[in-house]
Every structure is written in structure tokens, then in C-alpha cells.
């Protein structure tokens, strides 16, 4: 009898400890590439069909003023991973410091993190994955990294235990339309730090990334995990699997109103991927306490839609940096709400760190804890948000006001009444212009005095099969 009681107590303690261990939420970030503000049905897109993400929005919150810290791939990803402006971590250099590539027409420059590039995210930076690891989370990334392709900069050196995917964009390959200028090497597909395939079929990228994400969830369903799914698509060359092309054709035949081009097909496959991930969470019984954040790395190219915003990828107009974002956490976030407070990708790291009880990095962090905003309890914690491109500060937002200065030309917009930035109010509100210009000067000073160096290695080598 005493033995039975003892074993009962041990079992009770074990179950209690397990429940205690797993009461922290799992966290999944689904991060698409070049998907615009209007490229979701639930954000008004009529050219796309995204039923799973729409359902996710109905069960969670649409974040309608969510910003990336850059209108380009590499710097926006650096900000997500570090919680800091890309200029602060050396990942948005001025164009004069951009990398010169061989065989490029004179004067043509390109950003950091291309093939065999000596620059990458500094290993001294503390990433979101390392924050998760510090409190016992399993970490995995499946998709596109684009923060350095040398061994010192790969995800496995930045807090991720599992990695399957590409070191950079899938157009950086011998099939690039301007290959005569670039001379790009074969595109490597990695498993961990090993190249397992060259020039993978682009049509199957979304499907393969999704399969690995699902496998990761199943393997770690009894543990806390952080899963990062940075899809290479719909960045060009836009692609989709044969199976999805057939399925989408049937959807259109059924009367669904949407475009029938490859771009909308690719978006439909991304939506399928989101549906598969959400279904897996439910099947594994971990849906309620898993946070899923869906967003994009920057605005769309002209193949996509940024409506009702103006501007595209590579611009500091709203369409370049305000992105379609949905967050779902059934245990905490109210279903079916819209949150229009100013939020940024830099907020993800400090919010997650505080939520799970992790120590914050000692380096300067520009993001804020936005959990009270997501719980619909408080306003944005940001006073200002700064828009930079190629290392040049071009705009600032304060509340609903945005000042943009390009080549000395000033434009002041009220984003509440003029989301498309069409009505320049600078002459009507000179005091506001003065205030915002001072904020920009202060930001520039801060970046000059408190920026950290980019990671760099000498003699970078092309990744290939050994």
C-alpha cells in the first residue's frame, strides 16, 4: 500500500512537472517573401484566394499597422532576428558600401548576403532563436535564411538546432535572367550545415518547406518549441507545385473569384501551407497554446498588390514596409479583432523574451514588448518609427503623422485619413514637420554613435556539395 501511494505521488509530481514545463506557449513565425499588404483576401485582395489565413484571422487578430524595419529582404530579416533596426546591427549598409560583384556593369551595387559573401549577421548578436534556446525551447528553421551564407553565419550558428533550406534567395542561381552580369554559382540546398542538393526545383520549395515544418512540430509536440518558416515564395521566380496548380484550377472552376496567374497560385500554395501547419497543431493537441504569426519580409514587387497603400518593395512608402500580418493564439488573443496600433517586427524578440521569462540581450534593442497591445489592452509603446532604405533615413512616423524626405523634398501625410500618402500637408502643419525632422536627426545621431559591426570573414567560399 505504501509503495502504491509512493508511486502515485511520483506520477503526480511527474505530470505536474510536465504540465509546468509546457505551460509556456510554442511559437511559430510564418514569414513570406515579397508578399504585399493587399495579397491576402482578409486584407482586401480580390486577386488571391487565402481561406486558411482568412480563417486564422477570424480566430485571431489582423495587425493592420505592422511594419518591417526595411523594404528589403536581408535587413528586414536581421531586424526580426535581433529586435533592432538593421542599421544598428550593420545589416543595411549605405549604397556606397554595398558589395561589388564581379562582372557587374560599372556603378551597379548590391546589398550584403549574396552568394559567397563575406558579410553576414554578426555571431555576437543574440537572435530570437538563441533567446528561445536559453529557456529550453527546441528551435528549427525551414526555408530561406539570407543573413549570411558562410559557415560562421548559418542558422545553426545563430541558435537554430534544425535547418533545411536556402542560404539566400532562390533567384541567386545560374538561372538568373541577368546571369551574364552576375555569374552566380549553383544554388545550394542545405540540411544543417551540409549542402545536400544543387539547384532544387523551385516549383516544390513551398511544399518541401511545409513538410519539414510539419515534421518538426510532430517531433517536438511534447516540448516547447520555436519554429521559423521563412518561405522563399512569392519572391521571383514565382513558382508553385503541380498539385497546387491543379487544385487551384479546380477552385477557380468552382466559381471562386481570383486571378489565375502564377502569382496568385503561389499565394494559394502558401495559404495551403498555413492550413497544413494549423491542422497539425490541432491534430497534435497543441493548438490552443501555440502562437502563430503570419507576415511578410517587405512589400510586394509590382507582380503583387500593396493596395490600398502606395509604393512597393524597395521603397519607404507604406507599401514597401507595412505588411499583411495575422496573429493567432487561442488561449490569449481575442478572436476576430483588428489591431491598428503601430507595431513592428523588432517587437517580436522582446515580447517573446518577456512572455517566456528569458533574459533580454545586453545589446541595444529597438523593439518593445507589445503583448499588452495584442491582448487589446494598451496602445502602441512606440513613440517614433523610422523608415530607412540602403542605409539612408527617408521617413519617420509619429502617431498618425508621417514625414518623408527624398532628395530634400519634404512630404507630410496623415496616415489615418490618407493611408495612400497622396495629400502633402507640410505647408499646413509646419510645427509637425519641425518636430519630425528633429526626431530624424536624433535617430541619425543614435545610429552613428551606437551602431554595431556587421559580421565579416575573409576569403568567403561558395557553398557546394562536398
Query: Can you tell me the distance from the alpha carbon of 207 to that of 88, in angstroms, rounded to the nearest whole number?
Result: 35
Q: What is the 3-state secondary structure (H, E, C) of 309-320?
A: CCCCCCCCCHHH
Question: Residues with catalytic annotation?
Answer: 73, 146
Cell of 181: 552580369
Do 290 and 29 meet the contact criterion of CB atoms below 8 Å apart?
no
Cell of 31: 514569414
Query: Can you tell me the distance from the alpha carbon of 450 to that of 442, in angstroms, rounded to the nearest whole number?
Result: 12
Query: Can you tell me the distance from the alpha carbon of 254 to that of 268, in angstroms, rounded to the nearest whole number?
Result: 15
Amino acid at each position: 500500500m505504501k509503495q502504491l501511494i509512493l508511486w502515485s505521488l511520483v506520477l503526480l509530481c511527474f505530470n505536474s512537472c510536465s504540465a509546468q514545463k509546457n505551460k509556456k506557449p510554442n511559437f511559430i513565425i510564418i514569414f513570406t517573401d515579397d508578399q504585399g499588404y493587399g495579397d491576402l483576401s482578409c486584407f482586401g485582395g480580390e486577386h488571391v484566394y487565402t481561406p486558411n489565413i482568412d480563417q486564422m484571422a477570424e480566430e485571431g487578430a489582423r495587425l493592420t499597422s505592422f511594419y518591417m524595419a526595411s523594404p528589403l529582404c536581408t535587413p528586414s530579416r536581421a531586424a526580426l532576428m535581433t529586435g533592432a533596426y538593421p542599421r544598428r546591427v550593420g545589416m543595411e549598409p549605405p549604397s556606397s558600401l554595398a558589395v561589388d560583384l564581379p562582372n557587374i556593369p560599372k556603378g551597379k551595387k548590391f546589398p550584403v548576403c549574396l552568394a559567397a559573401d563575406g558579410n553576414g549577421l554578426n555571431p555576437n548578436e543574440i537572435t530570437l532563436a538563441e533567446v528561445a534556446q536559453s529557456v529550453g525551447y527546441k528551435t528549427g528553421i525551414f526555408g530561406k535564411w539570407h543573413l549570411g551564407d558562410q559557415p560562421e553565419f548559418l542558422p545553426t550558428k545563430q541558435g537554430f538546432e534544425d535547418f533545411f533550406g536556402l542560404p539566400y534567395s532562390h533567384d541567386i542561381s545560374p538561372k538568373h535572367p541577368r546571369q551574364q552580369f552576375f555569374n552566380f554559382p549553383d544554388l545550394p540546398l542545405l540540411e544543417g550545415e551540409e549542402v545536400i542538393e544543387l539547384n532544387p526545383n523551385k516549383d516544390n520549395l513551398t511544399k518541401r518547406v511545409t513538410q519539414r515544418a510539419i515534421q518538426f512540430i510532430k517531433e517536438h509536440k511534447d516540448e516547447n518549441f520555436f519554429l521559423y518558416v521563412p518561405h522563399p515564395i512569392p519572391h521571383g521566380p514565382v513558382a508553385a507545385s503541380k498539385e497546387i496548380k491543379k487544385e487551384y484550377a479546380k477552385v477557380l472552376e468552382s466559381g471562386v473569384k481570383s486571378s489565375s496567374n502564377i502569382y496568385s497560385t503561389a499565394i494559394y500554395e502558401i495559404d495551403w501551407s498555413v492550413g497544413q501547419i494549423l491542422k497539425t497543431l490541432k491534430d497534435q493537441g497543441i493548438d490552443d497554446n501555440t502562437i502563430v504569426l503570419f507576415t511578410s519580409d517587405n512589400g510586394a514587387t509590382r507582380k503583387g498588390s500593396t493596395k490600398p497603400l502606395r509604393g512597393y518593395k524597395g521603397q519607404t512608402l507604406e507599401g514597401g514596409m507595412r505588411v499583411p500580418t495575422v496573429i493567432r493564439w487561442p488561449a490569449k488573443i481575442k478572436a476576430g479583432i483588428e489591431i491598428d496600433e503601430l507595431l513592428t517586427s523588432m517587437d517580436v524578440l522582446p515580447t517573446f523574451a518577456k512572455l517566456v521569462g528569458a533574459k533580454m540581450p545586453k545589446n541595444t534593442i529597438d523593439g518593445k514588448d507589445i503583448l499588452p497591445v495584442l491582448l487589446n489592452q494598451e496602445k502602441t509603446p512606440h513613440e517614433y518609427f523610422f523608415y530607412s532604405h540602403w542605409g539612408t533615413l527617408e521617413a519617420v512616423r509619429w502617431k498618425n503623422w508621417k514625414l518623408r524626405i527624398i532628395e530634400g523634398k519634404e512630404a507630410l501625410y496623415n496616415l489615418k485619413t490618407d493611408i495612400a500618402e497622396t495629400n502633402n500637408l507640410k505647408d499646413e502643419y509646419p510645427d509637425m514637420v519641425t518636430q519630425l525632422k528633429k526626431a530624424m536627426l536624433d535617430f541619425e545621431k543614435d545610429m552613428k554613435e551606437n551602431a554595431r559591426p556587421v559580421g565579416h570573414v575573409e576569403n568567403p567560399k561558395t557553398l557546394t556539395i562536398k
